[in-house]
Amino acid sequence: MLKGKNILLCVTGGIAVYKAAALTSKLTQAGASVKIIMSNGAQKFVTPLTFQALSRNDVYTDTFDEKHPESIAHIDLADWADLVLVAPATANIIGKLANGIADDMISTTLLAATAPVWIAPAMNVHMYDHPAVKRNIERLQSYGYQFVEPNEGYLACGYVGKGRMEEPENIVKLISSYWEKEKNQPLKGKKIVITAGPTREILDPVRFFSNRSSGKMGYALAEEAHQLGADVTLISGPVSLNPPIGVNVKYIENAEEMYDAVLEEFPSADIVIKSAAVADYRPKQVSNEKMKKQDGDLIIQMERTKDILKTLGERKDHQFLVGFAAETSNLDEYAMSKLKRKNADMIIANNVNEKGAGFEEDTNIVTIYKKDGSNKRLGLMSKKELAKEIFREIVKTLQEERSK
C-alpha cells in the first residue's frame, strides 16, 4: 500500500510509545520506508534499539549527533520525508510546534519540514481539554497540520475519557487513504485564486456601505479546491468564518484593496473564481470625522468602483475565469450577458429572492452558464455540495478544452 513512501515518525514521551513501536512495524510491513526520531522522554519508555530493529533504519535522538557528516541530520530528514507523523504527540511537543520552539531533534526537524505533518495526540483527558492545548491545536490546524483524533477509553493514568492515541492499524489505513486520494486530485499543481465575502466602503469613522454576503460560498470553494490538490489563495472581505485549513488567506476591506490583491495574484493563477460580492459604488467623499445628524435629508454622492471581473477578462491569457451573478429577475438573460461582456469562461448565477438561495444561507440554488452557450441548473443543496459540483464542471470543461 505504501511502497516507495518515506515516513518520518517522531515519537515523544508517553506510555503510548508502545503503540508507536507497533505503528513502525505496520508501516514497514505496508511497504513504507520509516525513519524514527525519539525525544528524551520517549526513550524512558522504549529504547531506540527497538525502533531500529523494527524500521531497519537508524534512530535519531540528538540534534548534535550527526550520523553522516556530509549532511545536517534534521534538515536531511525533513527533506527526505513524504509525510511526517508525530505519534504519540504530547501536550509538550504540540505546544512547542504551535509556538515555533526548536530546542531538540524533533522540534527542530518539524520546523524544517515541508512535507505534510500529521499529529496523533496522546495525553490525559484533562490535559487534552486544557484551554492552552486546545488553542495550540487550533493554531496548528490553521497552519495546515492534520490531527489524528485520539480515542475515548481507559487511560494509563486511571481516568476514562478522550486521550488514547489512535490504534496503529487505523493510522496506517488513514495514511493509505490519504495517498489513494492524492492519486485522484485533478487540480494538483494548479494555482486557484478565489474571492469571498463582502467589501466595506467607508463613509466616515463609524459608517460604511456593505452587503449581506457571508462569504460561505467562497470559503466552501476554497476548501474543496484544496481537497482537490490545488494551491489555493483565498482573498476575503470581512467575514466571521474560520479560515479553511491549508489555504492561503488574504484579508481585504474594500473594493480597491480587493482589486489590487486579485491583480497581484492573477498572472500566476490557473483558475480564478470571483464569488465575492464587491461593492459597485463607494462614497465619493470620505469624512475623517463622524458626520453629524442634520435637519432634512442627506445626499451622498457615490462613484463607481473598478470592475474586477471585466479587468480580468481583458487581461487573461491562460486563466480560466469564473464569475458569480446574484440576480432578482431575468436570470438567463443577465447571466449570459455578463458572461460575454466580462469575457468569462463560466458564470454561476442565482436568484437571491428564491427560498434557500439568498445571502447568509447555508444552501444555494444556481445555474451554471458556460461560454459555449450551454447551462446546467442545480437544485437546492448545501454550499459545500455546490462547491463540489462547480469544480466538477470546471474540471470537465478544462478536460474537454484540452482534448480539442
> Of 73-82, 85-94, 183-192, 245-254, which gets the smallest average pLDDT?
183-192
Q: What is the pLDDT of residues 22-50, one digit of tens each?
A: 999 999 999 999 999 999 999 999 999 99
Outline where 113-245 has alpha helix (H). 125-128, 131-142, 168-183, 216-227
pLDDT higher than threshold 80 for residue 107: yes
Quick one: pLDDT at residue 227?
87
pLDDT higher than threshold 70 for residue 156: no
> Of 8-12, 16-20, 183-187, 246-250, which gets the smallest average pLDDT?
183-187
Q: Percent of the chain scored above 70 by pLDDT?
A: 97
Determine if residue 96 is labeled as part of a ligand binding site. Answer: no
Sequence-ordered list of residues with C-beta below 8 angstroms from that of 346, at least 6 positions apart, any chain: 320, 321, 322, 323, 339, 368, 369, 370, 371, 393, 394, 397
More confident residue, 327 or 322: 322
Using only the alpha carbons of the chain, give its radius of gyration.
26
Determine if residue 280 is labeled as part of a ligand binding site. Answer: yes
Q: Residue 17's pLDDT band (boundaries 50, 70, 90)?
A: very high
Q: Residue 158's pLDDT band (boundaries 50, 70, 90)?
A: low
Average pLDDT over residues 334-360: 91
Q: How many residues does the chain have?
A: 404
Quick one: pLDDT at residue 86?
97
Determine if residue 295 is labeled as part of a ligand binding site. Answer: no
Alpha carbon 317 to its chain centroid, in Å, reads: 27
Q: Residue 159's pLDDT band (boundaries 50, 70, 90)?
A: low
> Of 51-60, 151-160, 323-332, 346-355, which gets the smallest average pLDDT?
151-160
Largest CA distance in the chain: 86
> Could you give all domains of the chain from N- to C-terminal order, each with its CATH number?
6-183 (3.40.50.1950), 191-284+300-403 (3.40.50.10300)
Quick one: pLDDT at residue 269?
97
340: exposed, middle or buried (Cβ count in 10 Å: 0-12, 13-18, 19+): exposed
242-262 as b/e, with b when 16 or more CB fall inside 10 Å? ebbebbbbbebebbbbbbebb
Query: Which residues have a catalytic role annotated?
Result: 157
pTM of the model as a whole? 0.66
Determine if residue 324 is labeled as part of a ligand binding site. Answer: yes
Distance (Å, whole) CA 208 – CA 124: 49
Distance (Å, whole) CA 236 – CA 221: 12
Quick one: pLDDT at residue 357?
81
Quick one: pLDDT at residue 151?
77
Quick one: pLDDT at residue 31?
93
Average pLDDT over residues 179-206: 90
Closest by alpha carbon to 149, among 122, 177, 182? Answer: 122
Determine if residue 292 is labeled as part of a ligand binding site. Answer: no
pLDDT higher than threshold 80 for residue 266: yes
User: Crossing angle of helices 308-315/255-265, nearest 10°?
Assistant: 20
Quick one: pLDDT at residue 35?
97
Residue with cell 533504519: 57
More confident residue, 96 or 142: 96
Write down the mean pLDDT value for the chain. Answer: 92
> Of 157-166, 212-221, 283-292, which gets the smallest average pLDDT?
157-166
pLDDT higher than threshold 80 for residue 264: yes
Quick one: pLDDT at residue 359?
80
334: exposed, middle or buried (Cβ count in 10 Å: 0-12, 13-18, 19+): middle
Q: Percent of the chain scored above 90 by pLDDT?
A: 78
Cα separations in angstroms, 178 against 20, 181, 217, 288: 19, 5, 25, 53
Residue with cell 464542471: 393
Quick one: pLDDT at residue 161?
66
In contact, 66 and 108? CB cutoff 8 Å: no
